[in-house]
Amino acid sequence: MTGLATTLQAFFTDRLVRQRQVSANTIQAYRDTLRLLLVFASERQGKSPVRLDIDDLDAPLIGAFLDHLERERQNGVRTRNARLAAIRSLFRYAALRHPEHAATIERVLAIPPKRFERRLVTWLTEAEIDALLAAPDRATWTGRRDTALFSLAAQTGLRASELIGLTRADVQLGAGAHVSCTGKGRKQRITPLTSGTIAILRAWLAERAGQPGDPLFPTQTGRGLSRDALERRLAKYVAEAQVKCPTMAKKRVSMHVLRHSAAMRLLRAGIDTSVIALWLGHEQIETTQIYLHADLQIKERALERTAPITMKPGRFRPTDNLLAFLEAL
């Protein structure tokens, strides 16, 4: 085996699992990236993956691989940058084990992430959330399960991976009712529950018999829901909710949009962004700042406070149809 092969194996078993103790999701993401890279390099270099060495994965090849991700595989810039981060993590580890390849490794580590346009986050209004939660058929077992699942998601803002990883023991409905989960970086956090969510979860737990370690939201066979199954269920209910709430048709709703909606509800209630960061499990408060940029009402309130006392507070409103047309452009 080449130096790359042994280093790659040690990278997963020693660096990721033993030293850093990363989550299964991180290992899966790194595995998928490096598998794609090895297949791409094997075709370019005319070697089997096990015969590839570090010098075969030089900076020009890595750059061509990143272009391949965007052009052929239609990956977005965020995905491209995430793949690059996994590659750089491997090469930083390789630098410790293979100083003889320092020049190649240094040039790969110098490849910068690509800048991209940060769009405003999408979130659902209260009326849209109500329409979504009314979509599941509560006369069926799956409908009652999905009502509990999406009610919890909309109120707590848990990530999809956190939701499907919950067990019965993670929900406490007594005094100080809360749900506990393990998020990114194996960080544990506790999120309080509202009275409405408590009532829905209490009814679901009474119906969902089982052991404390069983999945909170299982399939009909008792296994945990997959991420794909979760997104399919959401897409089904979004399509039904659009009939009663047409404004949802203009939005691309995913599980992460429910997370954004929970954050925006807290922000509009006047909760400080540092508290919202703790609520969502953000490692850096800068991540939470995106919600400030997305909420026009907060900016309008700031504008009202800075307006001269002789002026009537508020935003400019056109006075006739022609001005309204120009304002809408």
Give the residue numbers marked as catalytic. Answer: 159, 184, 256, 259, 282, 291
> What is the rounded distance in angstroms from the CA atom of residue 23 to the CA atom of residue 186?
7
| CB crowding 214-243: b at 16 or more within 10 Å, else e | ebbbbeeeeeebeeeebeebbeebbeebbe
CB within 8 Å of 31: residues ≥ 6 apart: 12
How far CA 253 is from CA of 15, 122, 258, 261, 268, in Å, comes to: 37, 8, 8, 11, 20
